[in-house]
């Protein structure tokens, strides 16, 4: 579980640090099944060279499902522009063989009499979704590599994780927005990359790729569920009631990495305290991974001083007063 979420965070970090080789994400000597196609074999480029379009994302996910007995794929409906709303169920072949039993037992654990049910052989259920804002593309692009890793890795820790988890993998929360953004970014990409924010590539034409077909922000539709993308997502959620749901957004290229829990004052009073404790534990694994990279991050803080205090102590001890001020200016607060 901890390895799964840390891997997503590291892959998505590409939006901060820029294009890197595949070895940055995936170990060169990792025991991967060579029969499982890497993303580049279908896309025609390394992940991160171009923004993946939704049609290519769909094509790759179907190929993974055809190639791996760890993956089952389903189409839960269509967007207003006719794009499929996919879900991949990723777990061990043994779990797939009894997936309905696992699902039934998992739901029973939420009902009266749950204390009589053995959980020894009951996998946890994790829902992972990517790029609900279509122009925050690192989620969907990192999902290509994560799905490949889960399908192809023969490392003992991966096999153990697949035995212990059922992963409900939603590769694109917002297919129409992702397609709109990918078209713009790829069409206006420079031959020589530039970081100038005034560049045409970084200034999408209205209505941009954040929203769905009808320009609705799908991250505001979790409760109303008025749109087909949200209805498919919430139906999967209520059918399974996952232990953990992750919603992978993206920070700007000049921002550090943010992860939950968020600013305490913004926590809904109806949110259970255990929710905050669990997300804080997940964040601890992010901290460990980001410390190895030397990457900046923050969590649960808002003010400049507090954001700085959320950096690791070993890092703070070697930061000059002048650099501290520059860091406080550079690290942006998350505004949903």
For the purposes of burial, counting CB atoms within 10 Å of the CB of 118, is it exposed (0-12), middle (13-18) or buried (19 or more)? exposed
pLDDT in tens, the chain (336 residues): 555 655 655 555 544 344 567 787 888 899 999 999 999 999 999 998 899 999 999 999 999 999 999 999 999 999 999 999 999 999 999 999 999 999 999 999 999 888 888 888 899 999 999 999 999 999 999 999 999 999 999 999 999 999 999 999 999 999 999 999 999 999 999 888 888 889 999 999 999 999 999 999 999 999 999 999 999 999 999 999 999 999 998 877 777 788 778 788 888 899 898 888 888 888 888 888 888 878 888 877 654 444 444 444 444 443 334 333 333 333 333 333
Domain 2-254: CATH class, spelled out: alpha beta
Q: Are 291 and 11 in contact (CB under 8 A)?
A: no
Which ranges of the chain does DSSP label H, i.e. alpha helix? 2-12, 14-17, 39-43, 54-67, 93-96, 99-108, 138-152, 156-164, 175-187, 228-240, 273-293, 304-309, 313-316, 321-330
pTM for the model: 0.82
What is the total residue count of the chain? 336
CA dist 226 and 92 (Å) reads 34
CA pair distance 299, 292, nearest whole angstrom: 17
Structure tokens at 109: 């654990």
Radius of gyration of the chain (CA): 20
């Amino acid at each position: 579980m901890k390895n799964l979420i840390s891997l997503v965070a590291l892959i998505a970090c590409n939006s901060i640090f820029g294009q890197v080789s595949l070895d940055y994400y995936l170990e060169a000597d990792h025991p991967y099944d060579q029969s499982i196609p890497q993303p580049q074999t279908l896309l025609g480029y390394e992940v991160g060279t171009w923004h993946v379009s939704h049609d290519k994302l769909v094509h790759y996910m179907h190929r993974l499902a055809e190639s791996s007995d760890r993956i089952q794929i389903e189409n839960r409906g269509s967007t207003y522009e006719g794009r499929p709303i996919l879900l991949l169920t990723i777990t061990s072949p043994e779990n797939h063989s009894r997936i309905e039993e696992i699902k039934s037992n998992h739901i029973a654990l939420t009902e009266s009499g749950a204390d009589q049910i053995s959980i020894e052989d009951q996998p946890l259920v994790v829902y992972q979704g990517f790029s609900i804002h279509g122009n925050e593309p690192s989620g969907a692009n990192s999902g290509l590599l994560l799905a490949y890793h889960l399908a192809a890795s023969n490392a003992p820790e991966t096999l153990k994780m697949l035995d212990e988890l059922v992963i409900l993998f939603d590769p694109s929360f917002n297919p129409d927005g992702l397609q709109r953004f990918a078209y713009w970014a790829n069409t206006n990409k420079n031959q020589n990359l530039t970081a100038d924010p005034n560049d045409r590539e970084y200034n999408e034409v209205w209505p941009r790729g954040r929203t769905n077909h009808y320009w609705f922000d799908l991250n505001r539709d979790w409760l109303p569920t008025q749109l087909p993308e949200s209805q498919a997502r919430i139906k999967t959620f209520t059918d399974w009631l996952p232990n953990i749901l992750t919603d992978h957004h993206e920070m700007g290229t000049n921002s550090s990495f943010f992860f939950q829990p968020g600013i305490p004052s913004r926590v809904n009073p109806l949110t259970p305290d255990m929710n905050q404790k669990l997300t804080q534990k997940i964040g601890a694994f992010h901290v460990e991974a980001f410390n190895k990279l030397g990457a900046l991050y923050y969590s649960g803080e808002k003010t400049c001083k507090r954001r700085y205090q959320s950096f690791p102590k070993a890092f703070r001890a070697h930061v000059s007063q002048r650099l501290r001020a520059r860091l406080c200016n550079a690290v942006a607060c998350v505004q949903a």
